[in-house]
Structure 1
Amino acid sequence: MLLINPPLYMYKAMRVNPFFKFFRFWPLGVLLFLGACSSGKQSFQKGDYDRAVIQAVNRLQKDPSNKKALSTLEQAYKYAQENHQTRITEAMKSTETFRWETVVQEYESMNNLVDAGRRCPACRSVINNAGKYPEQLAAARQKAAETRYDLGAKLLKEKNRQSAKEAYQHFERAEQFVPGFKDARQKQDEAYLAALLKVVVEPVAVNKGVYQLSNEYFQNKIQEYLQHYEQQSFIKFFTLQEVRGKSFVPDHVLTLSFDDFVVGQTYLKEKEQNLERDSVKTGTVEGKDVYGTVKVKYITFEKTITSSGLLDFRIMDWQTKNIITQEKMPGTFVWRDEWATYKGDERALNKEQLKRARRRESPNPAPQFLFVEFTKPIYSQLTSKIQSFYRKY
């Protein structure tokens, strides 16, 4: 038995999918918004009776004496009910696998129209609680959950990952239709375990001690990504320590190693220029300004420190040790510093040159910083590769 800690539900978000709950009602919300300034007559004429009902309700909430909206509501509500009932009858007579889900949707739509009418006193003469179908909806939900549960149970018996993944979805839907339905939650856990691809991730080894702290940062970033990724998938990543003594056999082993890396290659470029500027005031003679040419020797420095490395990414079959996929991922970071000095008259310099001349050489960044920086583009490549590779699983 495979034990995973924390509990399984932490890896699959919520058993009752909040998005399912939201989108189940979104058409009504959209209709409420779009129908705020309409009596619903145009929607009625187009045969969109649900929209016409909502638009008429909205108008009557603002103007209870609006006869046009009331007339539209009476006709549209009648036709909407008839349409939903017809679709329910057709669905119940069909042999389509998920016909009961259609029935659930139709009853929910009718109940939603009644709920909308409840908020409008002027609408209660047309729409009342008699139009709701709580018992029929509950029965349809029960049937829909039963269908999903039976499909999940059948697929689970096939004992392969793809079938187990599909079974998981069916048990999840069964729980959504009827929370606590039979042992659907337990079966969902069982399907998750059967569908799970177990991947051992070997740590990135760095032999040079000075970079150990930076490598831990890189390793932790990878671990955070893997933890986030597995919550949205049927993949579970383990460390070597976590699989020791366990009863299960991993499927893949993911190894990461630097083929080579260089930190702190320094290059200094020096450039000397003789600059001059004409028509610069150089003094005063007998009360008159004297203009001339000023000159300066301007020396610029540009220092670059380059760090780079090549990460070997490899996924192998745990049992056969055969390589499934492999890729080399390069990363480079260049740190730059610029400053200048001069000899002569600074008035020969423009603002940008003078600004650079007032700067001083910056201290070199720490090797650990340079290591982290060149691994950042590698991290981006790595996470993209993991996502694209395991998407098919």
Structure 2
Amino acid sequence: MKNISRLRYFIYLSLLIIGGCTTGKKALQKGDYDASVEKSVSRLQNSPKNSEAMEVLKTAYDLALKDHLRKIDEAKMSNDLFRWESIMYDYQKINQLADEINSCPACLAIVPNPSKYITELAESKYNAAGARYNSGLGYLREKTRQTAKKAYYEFEKTLNLQPNYKDAKAKMEDAYWAAVTRVVVQPIIVNSSLYKLSADYFQQQIDQYIAKYTRNRFVIFYSEEQATNQKIVPDQVLSLNFDDFVVGQTYVKERVEKLKRDSVVIGETRTKRPVYGTVKATLSIFEKNISSSGLLDMSITDWKTRKLLRQQKFPGTYIWCDSWASFQGDERALSKEQLIMTRRKETLPPPPSALFLEFTKPIYNQLVDDIGYYYANY
């Protein structure tokens, strides 16, 4: 069985090697001239005298070059605003094929002087950048937030094509600030000194979230203090208020169980033989639940029109639990777990401020998820 497995492995490995050493003939037959050149070059780098790869390279390169030049001529005659990007791509492919052939001594014997279009590529890049730049200017002139976003991306593409093209960097900055939505987040007001520290901590968590928000580059959140200091005129105002909250609702439940256990040694005879009998006990189990809950209202309003854009309510609940027990009767009637419970004392609950903080945790998670969802593609 081992020999058969080894044979299968050898056959599989041989097929992989054979497949990896293709001359590019199949790609040539399918009309994929670029791939055919790349594969024949690869084969000649490993096997410089491979006659089939030599033949394929000569034919495939000639066809690939003619195909790219044809596409370039067609693109130049088209009315496509972004035709120069297509032209640039074809010049890049021609130059890439030339570089591959130049890296293979055996290939240079077949194609001695592969064509390279350095100047033409540079010109097409410059023209492509100009087309994107002009497109960005057109979008920017429309003076809407959505078209400003489009302008931003057009100027970004301009700079990717031509890093120092005219004033594209400054125009991109202008487009960005025209596209940004400025959201001022109003602080939560809790009119109770008992919960002030907890409410402040909850507010700090929200402030940290909005300060680190990066999901959408075109949305910037400001605290009310930041907006005042920086003299920001908001586009939207996000308000957070507790509709209601209750802290420390206490519920205590007692459950009584009658217990008995048979065949327990309850004594011994004069002859020291054990005496078996039934033992009984009454077990009282106490369960205390302290419930705290609240409902946070979030509303997003357009600053100029005062129109309500979104309103959501987020509930949160936290239940603190404690349990203990007592018994009367014979402790041998109790199980090990029941006996441990009777030795447990009633625990003091957390202070109200801590209970307040606990019920806000699920509210916070819902809140940031909703904010992230709403502004993700804004």
TM-score range (shorter-chain normalised) is: 0.7 to 0.9
SS in 1 for 2:349: coil
Query: d(CA) in 2 for partners of 1:151 and 1:41?
Result: 43
- Listed as ranges, the matches of 1:220-239 within 5 Å are 220-229=204-213, 232-239=216-223
Q: What per-residue deviation string (whole Å, max 9, x for no partner) do you get for residues 65-110 of structure 1?
A: 6666665555545444444333333222221122112223333344
Q: Give the AA of the match of 1:170.
A: E
Deviates more, 1:83-92 or 1:183-192: 83-92
Q: Percent identity?
A: 46
- Report which stretch shifted further, 44-53 or 266-275: 44-53
2:365 — aligned with what?
380
Select which of 166, 181, 186 maps to 1:197.
Answer: 181
* Cα pair distance change 1:313/1:109, threshold 3 Å: same
Counterpart contact for 1:114–1:128, Cα < 8 Å: no
Deviation per CA, 1:168-222: give whole Å up to 9, x if none. 1111110111112111111011111112222221111122223223223322222
Q: Give the SS at the match of 1:244.
A: helix
Deviations along 1:327-371, one digit per CA (max 9) or x if unpaired, are 322111222233444455555455654555555544423433322
1:59-138 pair list within 5 angstroms: 75-113=59-97, 130-138=114-122
Give the secondary-structure state (helix, strand or coil) at the position aligned to 2:213. helix
Larger Rg: 2
Q: Which moved more, 1:178-187 or 1:311-320?
A: 311-320
1:93, 1:201 → 2: CA distance? 53
Partner of 1:8: none
Query: What CA distance in whole angstroms lies between the structure 2 residues aligned with 1:67 and 1:346?
Result: 97
Partner residue of 1:37?
20
Correspondence for 1:14: none
- 1:123 CA displacement: 5.5
Q: Match for 1:143 among 116, 127, 134?
A: 127
- Please state whether the residue corresponding to 1:229 is helix, strand or coil: coil
TM-score (norm. length: structure 1)? 0.76
Q: What TM-score do you get using the length of structure 2 for normalisation?
A: 0.79
Q: Quick one: distance in 2 between partners of 1:349 and 1:116? A: 85
1:323 to 2:308 alignment: yes
Say if 2:137 is the partner of 1:153.
Answer: yes
1:29-56 superposed Cα distances (whole Å, 9 cap, x missing partner) = xxxxxx9935255444444444445555
> More deviation in 131-140 or 91-100?
131-140
Equivalent residues of 1:118, 1:127 under 8 A apart: no
1:323/1:128 CA distance change after superposition, 3 Å: farther
- Which residue is 2:292 aligned to? 307
Aligned residues: 359
Matched with 1:163 is 147
CA distance in 2, matches of 1:315, 1:303: 40
Q: Distance in 2 between matches of 1:191 and 1:127?
A: 49
- Alignment partners' CA distance in 1, 2:324 and 2:217: 51
Residues 81 and 212 of structure 1: is their aligned pair in 2 closer, same or farther, counting only changes over 3 Å? farther
Q: State the distance in 1 between where 2:52 and 2:363 align.
A: 66
2:227 corresponds in structure 1 to: 243
